[in-house]
Amino acid sequence: MWSRLEKVRRAIEQRDPATGLRSGHLFDDHAAVLSRAPGHLAVFVVEIDDRWDFSPDLAVATAAEALKVQHKRSSDRLYRVGARSFASFGLFASKRHVYLRAEAMRAAVSVAGLEPFIGVATADESPQDRAPARLRRLAECYRDDAKTQRSRIFPPWDDGPKPPPVSSASPLVTVEAVP
């Protein structure tokens, strides 16, 4: 009988009772298993803007449900990591795919009427860069940067060098009409 109660207790500890998401203390262990596979490992930390009338639990549960409905992948796992935040991780073919996923997460949560701030940390295939705890801390710092800069996803996707801005105050070329 005690072993059955112990199994029930462990199952309860694995879930956040208010939202049903996986408990944050499981994040590092689960991500460590996935980090052994090849590909770009990405950690997303999402925080829901606190200016809404939602309780923190309802805000996180609503955002998680929106993600499950809009963009469910068989490998998606969400972990409650703060009062108004949750984390996710995954393997992607390229950094471009990571940012497409972050944008899809932002859109899904926005459709639910919430405003997310998403921190994205990525690692290539080198083992020292793939420590889940380090990536999670980095994603949390990026999430905080997104909040201070009022950006929805941080760092923003950089797909190459941009042309220098052109000032409209002084024309670069003067065109004269020839009679």
What is the pTM assigned to this prediction? Answer: 0.78
Please give the distance of CA 144 from its chain centroid, rounded to a whole number. Answer: 12
Residues 22-59 pLDDT 10s: 888 788 888 888 888 888 899 999 999 876 677 888 88
What does the pLDDT read at residue 9? Answer: 55
Superfamily (CATH) of domain 12-154: Reverse transcriptase/Diguanylate cyclase domain (3.30.70.270)
Query: Domain ranges in the chain?
Result: 12-154
Strand order in the sheet with 22-23: 22-23, 79-82, 85-92, 40-48, 116-123, 153-154
